[in-house]
Amino acid sequence: MKRLLVVVVALLVVTQASAGLLPKFRFGIKAGMDYQSNSFKSSITELDIESNSGWFAGVHGELSWGAFGLRPEVVYSHNKFGIKGAEGELILNKLDVPVLLQVRFLKVLAIHAGPTFSVMTDTNGTTGGAEWNFKRPTVGYAVGAEARIWKIAVSARYNGTFKKSTILGYSTGENKISTFQIGLGYYF
């Protein structure tokens, strides 16, 4: 009876694996450049947070069922912004956790889309002696594409926020951040 149970379980696993029902798992690392833009609005109109480029690095996984898959990631990014209208700068370091749905085409191309959960790990800056406290929404979205040849991947992605975040500091205002990322990844 035990042998029969083992044989039945083995047949079910083999059948599901050959039918593509069991997911294939891959993981890797990624890094690249990002460009963050914003739409800062304040009661003091001569202030402007300048858009700027920075860098990102992280790890990603991939659970795939044939052409469809799920792609969780953990990505750390660093950006530094100048502030027009006042001498100073603003530094944003954040940890993003996107959970993206994936559709693959021709085994080389993939499209990703889904929610991104963000945590600011360090937001600071000074302008004319005032400290900046940057509060960002914790949920956004990401849409992108990836081309993969062998274990190397090149990706481009747009990250946005669903609502504006509040900034307290030199002046009180609102800001909506969007990011465009270009990266290089390696799958193990």
Helix (H) or strand (E) holding 128: none
The CA distance from 125 to 109, in Å, is: 40
Structure pTM?
0.76
Higher pLDDT, 123 or 141: 141
More confident residue, 13 or 108: 108
Provide mean pLDDT across the span 156-184: 74
Residue burial 153-181, b: 16+ Cβ < 10 Å; e: rest: bebebebebeebbebebbbebebbbebbb
Full 3-state SS string of 20-44: CCCCEEEEEEEEEEEEEEECCEECC
The answer to whether domain 23-187 has CATH 3.20.20.70 is no
Closest by Cα among 156, 164, 162 to 183: 156
Amino acid (one-letter) located at 105: F
Most confident of 21-25, 47-51, 143-147: 143-147
pLDDT in tens, 35-64: 877 666 555 556 566 667 899 999 999 999
Residue 132 makes CB contacts below 8 A (sequence gap 6+) with: 90, 123, 124, 125, 126, 167, 168, 169, 170
The closest of 131, 170, 126, 164 to 40, measured between CA atoms, is 164
Arithmetic mean of pLDDT, 74-86: 79
